[in-house]
């Protein structure tokens, strides 16, 4: 037996004994557990209200809607950051961003380098960890150790070469590398060193879905962990002429708003869902989700595969491509408000008895690590997933203890968000701003749009939450921004005025141009992005 295990290192003693039991019928069949697989679907920049089942009258997501009907819907599900890399690191580690140290998207400038963005801000953002820490045991590594075959497809953005998916527990890596956006766009050729090109015009989302299905088909007789991480619906937003035409007609039928943009503190922000290019991109992603879910059934894997579906941050309403509106949630990607961090959050566990339909208990993506381990009956690792908790009891209808959730983003978002940290406890949400040290307090049960700052009416509660927030941040050695000695308030005012006038006017004009019946961005439509901030 020792020789067998040595020759076949991936076969653990436990699996070997299970094989003997099955072959020789020695009466220990009760110890052989059925295979339990995990399929994790992560969408990039996908907003809480970018779904039909969430009430969108513009986007069509029938396949995700169907998954929602079979899942627990977490109405208060959150990403762990308002931008991508920190959120993804929290999924992989089970830790809040301040603890693992990746607090901004990898590649974002810090310190004096931030001045080159010409935003003329008061603060200089601090340095942050620029690759997934090797000392962490990732979710993939934890499952691989238990005999799971691990697969990754799509966007990674957790470090350069040497810190790619295959360096952190994934045995297969299709398309995951440094880049946070699809360098070649959403149609082949992809300009991706980890993804072979298909025929010109092949859709990236569907290609990643097909790669995932091929893996699951090949591994169907043994436990697997498949992580499908779409580059969609990140910029550049692109679609086909057919889908643009469909959503352009739908926008017209819904009635075009006279104005598409309002203003946040820094940048214009989209107020309506009527971008036909983005609508087509969303539908293509949903088509790819449908392909994977149908294939699970066709392969006979739907009854023993746990499915997780979520996003890494809010929909892009400012900056980037100004693609969608998150209303009634305030803000979007890059913002400290609910639109920046609240996400679609679905979990389907076919073997879980009495799985609840929905819950309003606040949860974060850091909870997915222990939840997955618990669901497939792997021992939890509390020293690793320190800020996550298993959601299995909650999904089974049991009460949970109230806890505090923490977000830390001491940076300026490309989309107009401000350096700040957040604590949510129960219905209360406190935002602490680093420019002027002020606190905002919101009652999310009464004020989902965060219009009414009630900190002055609740001074004691504000003080308690702020102190708890800072105790946590200081306890994990969080990094904070510093005052910029070259800050020029006059230059900042000029910049803000230009955004409120010239930029907003240009965006309103562009919105109407995209909705014109004769709009055509280029010959093949594959490069149909709208704008870059």
Q: What is the pLDDT of residues 350-384, one digit of tens each?
A: 999 989 999 999 999 999 999 999 999 999 999 99
**Sign (positive or negative) of CA dihedral 511, 514, 516, 521:** positive
Phi, psi torsion values for 30, nearest 5 degrees: -65, -15
CATH number at residue 386: 3.40.720.10
Q: Domain limits at 62?
A: 33-514
Q: Answer whether residue 533 is part of any domain.
A: no
The answer to the question of residue 28 being in a domain is no
Taking phi over 0 as left and psi of -120 to 50 as alpha, with beta for the rest, 319 belongs to left
Domains held by the chain: number: 1
Is 346 domain-assigned?
Answer: yes
Looking at the DSSP bridge assignments, the partners of residue 77 are 363
Tell me if 153 sits within 8 A of 204, measured CB to CB. no
Residue 531 domain-assigned (yes or no): no
Q: Model confidence over 8-31: pLDDT tens digits?
A: 233 333 333 333 333 333 334 344
What is the distance between the alpha carbons of residues 212 and 288, in angstroms, rounded to a whole number?
10
pTM here is 0.92
Each residue's pLDDT tens digit, 461-478 = 999 999 999 999 999 999
Taking only the tens place, the pLDDT of each residue in 376-414 is 999 999 999 999 999 999 999 999 999 999 999 999 999
Question: Residue 412 contacts by C-beta under 8 Å, 6 or more apart in sequence?
Answer: 114, 117, 119, 121, 123, 125, 418, 419
**C-alpha to C-alpha distances, 221 to 29, 61, 336, nearest whole angstrom:** 18, 31, 44
SS3 329: coil
Per-residue pLDDT band for 258 (boundaries 50, 70, 90) equals very high
Supply the DSSP string of 77-119, one letter for each residue.
Answer: EE-SSSSHHHHHHHHHHS--HHHH---S-TT---GGGGGGG--
* Rounded average pLDDT over 176-200: 94
Q: How confident is the model at residue 531 (pLDDT cuts 50, 70, 90)?
A: very low
Categorize the per-residue pLDDT at 35 as very low, low, confident or very high, splitting at 50, 70 and 90.
confident
Distances (CA, A) of 84 to 108, 219, 314, 451: 11, 30, 9, 26
Q: Is residue 527 part of a domain?
A: no
* 19 domain-assigned: no
On whether residue 249 sits in a domain, the answer given is yes
In a domain, residue 105? The reply is yes
Average pLDDT estimate for 324-344: 98
| Beta bridge mates, 227 | 40, 152
Q: How far is CA 56 from CA 62, 272, 279, in A?
A: 12, 11, 11
Q: 380, exposed or middle or buried, with CB in 10 Å at 0-12, 13-18, 19+?
A: middle
- Report pLDDT for 523: 77
Q: What is the pLDDT at residue 109?
A: 97
């Amino acid at each position: 037996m020792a020789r067998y295990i040595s020759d076949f290192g991936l076969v653990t003693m436990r699996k070997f004994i299970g094989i003997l039991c099955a072959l020789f019928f020695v009466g220990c069949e009760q110890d052989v557990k059925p295979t339990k697989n995990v399929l994790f679907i992560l969408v990039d920049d996908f907003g809480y209200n970018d779904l039909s089942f969430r009430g969108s009258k513009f986007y069509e997501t029938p396949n995700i809607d169907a998954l929602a009907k079979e899942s627990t819907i977490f109405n208060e599900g959150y990403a762990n950051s308002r931008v991508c890399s920190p959120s993804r690191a929290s999924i992989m580690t089970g830790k809040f961003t301040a603890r693992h140290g990746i607090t901004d998207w990898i590649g974002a400038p810090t310190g004096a380098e931030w001045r080159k963005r010409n935003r003329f801000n008061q603060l200089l953002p601090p340095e942050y960890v620029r690759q997934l820490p090797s000392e962490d045991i990732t979710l993939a590594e934890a499952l691989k150790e238990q005999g799971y075959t691990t697969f990754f497809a799509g966007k990674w953005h957790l470090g350069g070469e040497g810190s790619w998916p295959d360096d952190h527990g994934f045995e297969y890596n299709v398309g995951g590398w440094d880049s946070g956006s699809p360098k070649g766009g959403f149609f082949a050729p992809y300009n991706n060193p980890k993804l072979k090109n298909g025929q010109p015009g092949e859709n990236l989302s569907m290609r990643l879905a097909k790669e995932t299905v091929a893996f699951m088909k090949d591994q169907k007789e043994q436990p697997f962990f498949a992580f499908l991480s779409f580059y969609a619906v990140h910029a550049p937003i692109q679609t086909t002429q057919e889908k643009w035409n469909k959503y352009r007609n739908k926008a017209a039928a819904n009635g075009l708003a006279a104005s598409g943009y309002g203003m946040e503190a820094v940048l214009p922000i989209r107020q309506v869902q009527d971008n036909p290019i983005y609508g087509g991109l969303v539908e293509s992603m949903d088509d790819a989700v449908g392909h994977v879910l149908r294939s699970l059934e066709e392969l006979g894997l739907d009854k023993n595969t746990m499915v997780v579906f979520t996003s890494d941050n809010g929909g892009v309403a400012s900056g980037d491509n100004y693609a969608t509106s998150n209303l009634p949630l305030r803000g979007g990607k890059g913002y400290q408000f609910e639109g920046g961090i609240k996400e679609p959050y679905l979990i389907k566990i076919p073997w879980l008895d009495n799985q609840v339909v929905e819950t309003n208990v606040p949860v974060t993506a850091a909870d997915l690590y222990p939840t997955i381990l618990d669901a497939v009956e792997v021992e939890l690792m509390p020293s690793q997933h320190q800020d996550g908790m298993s959601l299995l009891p909650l999904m089974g209808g049991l009460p949970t203890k109230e806890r505090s959730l923490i977000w830390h983003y001491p940076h300026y978002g490309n989309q107009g968000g401000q350096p700040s940290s957040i604590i949510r406890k129960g219905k209360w949400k406190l935002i602490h701003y680093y420019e002027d040290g002020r606190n905002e307090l919101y009652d999310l049960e009464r004020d989902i749009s965060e219009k009414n700052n009630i900190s002055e009416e609740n001074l004691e509660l504000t003080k308690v939450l702020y102190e708890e927030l800072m105790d946590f941040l200081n306890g994990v050695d969080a990094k904070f921004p510093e005052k910029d000695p070259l800050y020029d308030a006059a230059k900042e005012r000029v910049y803000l005025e230009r955004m409120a006038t010239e930029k907003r006017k240009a965006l309103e004009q562009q919105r109407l141009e995209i909705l014109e019946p004769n709009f055509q961005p280029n010959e093949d439509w594959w490069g149909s992005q709208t704008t870059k901030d």
